[in-house]
Amino acid sequence: MAMSFAALAGFVVGALAVLFYRNQIEAPNRAAATDGVETGAALPQGVASVLAVLPSSAVVLDAHDRVLRASSAARAFGLVKGDRLMAAELLALARQVRRDGEIRESEIDVAGHKFGQETTNFAVRVAPLGSYGQVLVLAEDQTERRRVEAVRRDFVANVSHELKTPVGAMSLLAETIQDAADDPEAVSRFAGRMQLEAARLNYLIQDLITLSRIQGAEPIPTPGQVSIDEAVQDAIDHCNTRASAKDITLVTGGTEGLRIWGDDELLVTALRNLIDNAVAYSPEHTRVVVSVRPAGDSVEISVSDQGIGIPEEALERIFERFFRVDAARSRATGGTGLGLAIVKHVAAAHAGEVSVWSKEGSGSTFTLRLPAFGGTAVAVPPSIPLEAAK
């Protein structure tokens, strides 16, 4: 993006220079400014139309630092008020450019001009415009790009940290095994723990792949009719072993025969994550209920548990990547910290949403709300195959 702004800015500066040169030949003594500001030198012909189509903020200053022309973006961002350039840093840059004729690039922060508005970060390019001391200022708002970059940096740092933990543990375990070579019982115990760490690494990589697949906000590649009953059953089958190990009963209920339009694998992945969590964060001998119901033009699938619940202050953060209420507990249960982020993106990819209700000590209910196939949630009798039921 920075490159494209630089390229665009370069092109505009070049184009304006040509326009100016032609203008000098055609009308060297033009006197009045096109926008009514008396400046002694008018805006070169054609410059105004080029500036009008620019998406970025563009300002032309005259030899006395007065604004000859400003795009509406420049005014909206508060860079220009009346015939004055408001950012002192930008004005200083414009003066330097006027003095030595050198094109300059920089980054500046401009305080929000409305109450409560944050600072805007601009990539700016300032160039001389002809021989009347006019200066062209182009400024591109890059606040959003900066924010996205920061999120990406954080994510890479988090991923590296998460990868380092199991890899470090595996390396330590390998050393320990070497030292315990003459103790077969210890070797077997440490080898078992190494396998656990390898499995953890594998889950993390799998989750990262799933997340990167759905995160691009691209449409689902091969959507189709998805039977909710089948998706729920697949997810339950997958979680059964972990549930039985804690004597947790998995129960299904609600309306059968509902369908959505989407990707069955992604839906199963989302449900599996919700059921896995319900099992992981519940004590032994409890119940996890998965229930399905039509809700207007959507289908609601909820997963309820009688587990530890989530503190209220953490509720709005649990869908963030790598956020855990209790990192040690998540690690003990083999969690990657990505499960709910995946659920959120799967819901979004289906134009749906996920919500949570929870009470500490009582349990949690996660609800996926997805648009029903065909616009209304109608049950299809199980005897009719999906393809025939259009």
For binding to ligand ADP (CB under 6 A), which residues are involved? 273, 277-278, 281, 305, 307-310, 318, 323-326, 330, 335-341, 364
90 exposed, middle or buried (CB, 10 Å; 0-12, 13-18, 19+)?
buried
Please report how close the Cβ of residue 322 comes to ligand ADP at its closest, in angstroms: 8
Closest CA to 35 of 83, 78, 76: 83
Residue number with CB closer to ligand ADP (9 or 271): 271
In three-state secondary structure terms, 168 is helix
> Edge-to-edge strand order for the sheet containing 134-141?
67-70, 57-61, 134-141, 120-129, 104-110
Residue (110 or 275) nearer to ligand ADP, CB? 275
CB of 289 to ligand ADP, least distance (A): 12
Which residue, 254 or 337, is less far from ligand ADP as judged by CB? 337
Specify the amino acid at residue 202. Answer: N
* Cβ closest to ligand ADP, residue 257 vs residue 307: 307
Q: How far apart are CA 268 and CA 176, in angstroms?
A: 39
CA distances from 56 to 95, 96, 107, 169 (A): 21, 22, 14, 51
Rank residues 309 and 371 by Cβ distance to ligand ADP and give the closer one: 309
Q: How far apart are the first and last CA of the chain?
A: 45
Residue number, 81 or 164, with CB nearest to ligand ADP: 164
Taking the complex as a whole, the smallest distance from the CB of residue 274 to ligand ADP amounts, in Å, to 7
Q: Tell me the closest approach of the beta carbon of residue 304 to ligand ADP, in angstroms.
A: 9
Closest distance to ligand ADP from the beta carbon of 346 (Å): 12
Return d(Cα 294, Cα 196) in angstroms, integer: 41
Cβ proximity to ligand ADP: between 135 and 280 the closer is 280
3-state secondary structure of 84: strand
Closest CA to 282 of 312, 315, 304: 304
Minimum CB distance to ligand ADP, residue 226 (Å): 22
> How large is the C-alpha radius of gyration of the chain?
31
Q: How far is the CB of 65 from ligand ADP (least distance, A)?
A: 54
